[in-house]
Structure 1
Amino acid sequence: GSGARLEPSLRARVDAGTLRAGELGGELRRLGAAESEARRAAGEAAERMTSVEIEQARVESEAAEARRRLEAAGTDPGPGDDREALVAAAERLERRRETLGQVNPLAREEYARERERLDALVAQRADLEASLAELERLRTELDETVERRFTETFSAVALHFEEVATTLFPGGGGRLRLAEPAGDDEDGGSLGIEVELRPAGKRVARLSLLSGGEKALGAIAFLFALFLARPCPFYLLDEVEAALDDTNIARFVELLRRYRDRAQFIVITHQKRTMEAADILYGVTMGAEGVSQVVSRRVSREQSVETPALVPA
């Protein structure tokens, strides 16, 4: 049914989310390294810009002082050498100031460029972190959905199994139970299902300890429990009762008759007792010319398989 198709879809989405989360984690680590490098470059650019601004301020201060001294020397002339030295110093400081004026915009541009790169990386990292958080939320939600639906389905199958086992093991019964995780595995990854059956007059035993016929009955009980928990329009059973004796075949046939109105059963069998429960028989026969032919017969429920009613199929 739709529920049966949904679990694999949910699991695929969980697996895809886990893979994407791993990819985002790697991308976040790469961005973290790039962001650290961008912060370092921006810091160095800021230091260079600050250093240039300090040097520019010092040169401007010295140039202003030189100009002031030249103005003072113009009103109070001193020795010629002193005036020439002041003029040379003022010119040198002016050239230095002009040079710093050209460097300073470059430092500001470098800082602005590194800062813009850093801001872009920070924004990208924030987007990735938000995506990763959403994936983690989705994965948690899907895990919870898978676990809930598994629990619901298992409970339904276990209930039907007890019902069917009572029919197949009169005076006995059976049950399903979840197997404990193996070893130190705590995530439920190795969780399994154990089948326990109690034939009449015997103790409860696991499926592996039963006889071949009892195992076959247990498998049939499990199949029918699944059918009842997840109904489908038809079911195909391929010689599931081949290992059963006549008594147990009669119990199997009873199941077919009990649930024949809920679904169509297509049974491959060599057992006459099973054929007696069929509405229509299909057989393959070899003709005189060695050519296989499919023969069909509709069987009246009041008739045995030995005298089928001949009805066009």
Structure 2
Amino acid sequence: PLPLHPLVSALPIVEELPAGLEEEIQRLKAHLRRLGAINPNAPAEYAETHERHQFLSNQCADLEAAAERVRQVVVELDELMESTFQTMFEAVATHFSELFTTLFGGGSAHLELTEPDNLLNTGVDIVARPPGKRAQRLALLSGGERALTAVALLFAILKVSPAPFCVLDEVDAMLDEANVGRFRTLLKERSQETQFIVITHTRGTVEAADTIYGVSMASDAASQVVSLDLEQV
């Protein structure tokens, strides 16, 4: 027999059960019945679940670290874009002011940022003062003035960042003869770095071309293309 007598004899003598003890015993028994039988596979299932939890926790930590690295890259790219945009904007603005005066034979113009403190979302406004007029926004200029201002901006961009070729579709349609002459001169200068494909009906602009392609309609209503290399004429 187990040596329980010393332990039992040391227990206090209970003459009356405490109030509510029977109810507590019944409650605990009911709780044990709800728990059901002991699962002998519980340790193995716990180990498997714990391993899965560790794996997912590590994956989550890796994803959070990767997300932080991406956020850092975004910050660095934003800073780089702001710096590059500021540099390019200042260069284009300088050339634009010079080319505007050249194309108009006077006057002045400049570029303005709509949100100088938010370079990633800012817009750009053009303020122009043609010769003999007051400074005003682009929308208030005449059609010919807007066209010439747009040409000045385009050539300013090409001067800062030359492109291999550029297509101009009737940009000289609203220019008078004097402005066409200045446009043609600037076009010839920029053609040293950029090949221009110009769609035009203006004779002065055609005279600046190296090669001319004419499109006409034959008697059968089919289009015919005729080319002329002016350097060989």
**1:265 paired to 2:200:** no
Q: 1:145 aligns with which of 75, 80, 83?
A: 80
**1:132 paired to 2:67:** yes
Matches within 5 A, 1:13-52: none
| Structure possessing the higher relative contact order (Cα contacts under 8 Å, 6 or more residues apart) | 1
CA distance 1:283–1:233, shift in 2 (3 Å): same
SS at 1:161's partner residue?
helix
SS at 2:58's partner residue?
helix
Check the 8 A contact 2:92/2:156 in 1, yes or no: yes
Q: Distance in 2 between matches of 1:265 and 1:69?
A: 109
RMSD, matched Cα: 2.7
State the match for 1:172 in structure 2: 107
User: Percent identity between the aligned chains?
Assistant: 48
Q: 2:58 aligns with which of 123, 126, 136?
A: 123
SS at 2:2's partner residue?
helix
State the match for 1:58 in structure 2: none
Of 110-119 and 270-279, deviating more is 110-119
Of 228-237 and 106-115, deviating more is 106-115
Q: Distance in 1 between matches of 2:118 and 2:106?
A: 38
- How much has 1:188 moved relative to structure 2? 5.3
State the match for 2:217 in structure 1: 286
Could you tell me which amino acid in structure 1 is paired with residue 159 of structure 2? L
Residues 194-217 of structure 1, C-alpha deviations (whole Å, 9 max, x = no match)? 111111122221111111111111
Residues 41-66 of structure 1, C-alpha deviations (whole Å, 9 max, x = no match)? xxxxxxxxxxxxxxxxxxxxxxxxx5
- How much has 1:218 moved relative to structure 2? 0.7
TM-score, normalisation: structure 2: 0.75
CA distance 1:288–1:69, shift in 2 (3 Å): closer
Could you tell me which amino acid in structure 2 is paired with residue 180 of structure 1? E
Check the 8 A contact 2:217/2:223 in 1, yes or no: yes
Q: 2:154 aligns with which of 218, 223, 226?
A: 223
- How much has 1:289 moved relative to structure 2? 4.9
- How much has 1:124 moved relative to structure 2? 2.3
**1:238 paired to 2:173:** no
Q: Which has the higher helix share?
A: 1
**Structure 2 stretches of 5 or more lacking a match?**
6-37
- How much has 1:274 moved relative to structure 2? 0.9
Matches within 5 A, 1:53-68: 67-68=2-3
Q: Distance in 2 between matches of 1:244 and 1:200?
A: 15
CA distance 1:171–1:123, shift in 2 (3 Å): same
- How much has 1:170 moved relative to structure 2? 2.0
Check the 8 A contact 1:169/1:198 in 2, yes or no: no
SS at 2:197's partner residue?
strand
Number of equivalenced pairs:
202
State the match for 1:156 in structure 2: 91
Residues 66-86 of structure 1, C-alpha deviations (whole Å, 9 max, x = no match)? 51259xxxxxxxxxxxxxxxx
**Structure 1 stretches of 5 or more lacking a match?**
1-65, 71-102, 301-309
- How much has 1:288 moved relative to structure 2? 4.6
SS at 1:67's partner residue?
coil
SS at 2:198's partner residue?
strand
- How much has 1:255 moved relative to structure 2? 0.8
CA distance 1:118–1:279, shift in 2 (3 Å): closer
SS at 2:215's partner residue?
strand
- How much has 1:239 moved relative to structure 2? 0.3
TM-score, normalisation: structure 1: 0.57
